[in-house]
Amino acid sequence: GAGVSQSPSNKVTEKGKDVELRCDPISGHTALYWYRQSLGQGLEFLIYFQGNSAPDKSGLPSDRFSAERTGGSVSTLTIQRTQQEDSAVYLCASSLPGYQETQYFGPGTRLLVL
């Protein structure tokens, strides 16, 4: 079946503009995760959804970052007033519920803030 999809694949924006990144999880996966991967770095956890609710928002780096999920499916990560340090690859993953379930990752959105 179809994997996790993300759009856009690449986004170039100017400092101060808002951006929206979209994630389409695998059908039936109730858990959804957002991570950020900076150049040469590991993955930084941002936020996790179970259904439409986000029990853990601890990883969001500032109040400029927000995320929502509707219908238990598509999720949008919004970054307001982008800064150059926001430049990174934003990865989305989804899984079935449960601690031992495997997370399946999308290809990522490469964000460049000029």
> Which residues lie near another protein (CB under 8 A)?
4, 31, 33, 35, 41-43, 45, 48, 50, 55-56, 91, 93, 99-100, 102-108
- Kindly state the helix (H) or strand (E) to which residue 109 belongs, with its residue range: strand 109-113
CA angle 76, 5, 28 (to 5 degrees): 85
Name the minimum Å distance from CB 90 to another protein: 11
Of 56 and 68, the one with the shorter C-beta distance to another protein is 56
Name the minimum Å distance from CB 91 to another protein: 6
Of 43 and 74, the one with the shorter C-beta distance to another protein is 43
Which of 46, 38, 39, 43 lies closest to 65, judged by CA?
46
Residue 73: partners with Cβ closer than 8 Å, 6 or more residues away:
24, 25
Name the minimum Å distance from CB 29 to another protein: 13
Residue 14: partners with Cβ closer than 8 Å, 6 or more residues away:
82, 113, 114
Name the minimum Å distance from CB 31 to another protein: 7
Of 82 and 95, the one with the shorter C-beta distance to another protein is 95
Of 13 and 104, the one with the shorter C-beta distance to another protein is 104
Residue 8 backbone phi and psi in degrees, to 5: -75, 170
